[in-house]
Amino acid sequence: MNYPTRGQLERSLSQRIQALYRQELGHQPSKVTCQLFNSKLAVIIENSITPAEQRLAEVGQEELAEEVRAGLKDATQPKLKALLEEILGVEVIDILSEAKLETGRMGVIAVLTQSPQVRNPEAIPKQKAENDS
């Protein structure tokens, strides 16, 4: 089996996550950055706030904008999880995410059952073992 490199996997994830947001929310983030860390994946989504959320925040309805954001997160997370599992080839145990209306940025951490198979596994930063210190 010819596995992708870490960089190819991260680029593929970035492109597919951007497409998922465009398809599901009708809004395309300006940039999606993915970084694998052993059995975790960090994702930064720039310009993740939809125009409707932005408008609510602009007119002083930040609380409602946050509720809309929470609803969109709940609606998209199962599809995001399925997408990550499909591309990485490993199970996603948990997804933690938070978005900031002020910056338009969203951060996502996916906890995986194991590190995905890549051609260059040494390129994935390993976390320090508890007893290494």
The domain of 105 spans 6-119
Is 111 a member of any domain?
A: yes
Amino acid at 29: P
Is 126 a member of any domain?
A: no
Is 1 a member of any domain?
A: no
pLDDT for 133 beyond 90? no
Is 132 a member of any domain?
A: no
pLDDT at position 35: 96
Is 133 a member of any domain?
A: no
CATH of the domain at 52: 3.30.980
pLDDT at position 131: 42
CA-CA distances (angstroms) from residue 60 to 65, 72, 77, 105?
A: 9, 20, 27, 19
Asked whether the beta carbons of 107 and 44 are under 8 A apart, the reply is yes
Domain tally, the chain:
1
pLDDT tier, 123 (very low <50, low <70, confident <90, very high otherwise): confident
Is 28 a member of any domain?
A: yes
List 107's β-bridge partners, or say none.
44, 98
Q: pLDDT tens for residues 40-69? A: 999 999 999 999 999 998 999 999 999 999
Is 131 a member of any domain?
A: no
Is 41 a member of any domain?
A: yes
Tokens standing for residue 50: 């939809």
Report which of residues 120 and 127 the model is more confident about.
Answer: 120
Q: pLDDT tens for residues 6-45? A: 999 999 999 999 999 999 999 999 999 999 998 999 999 9
Radius of gyration of the chain (CA): 16
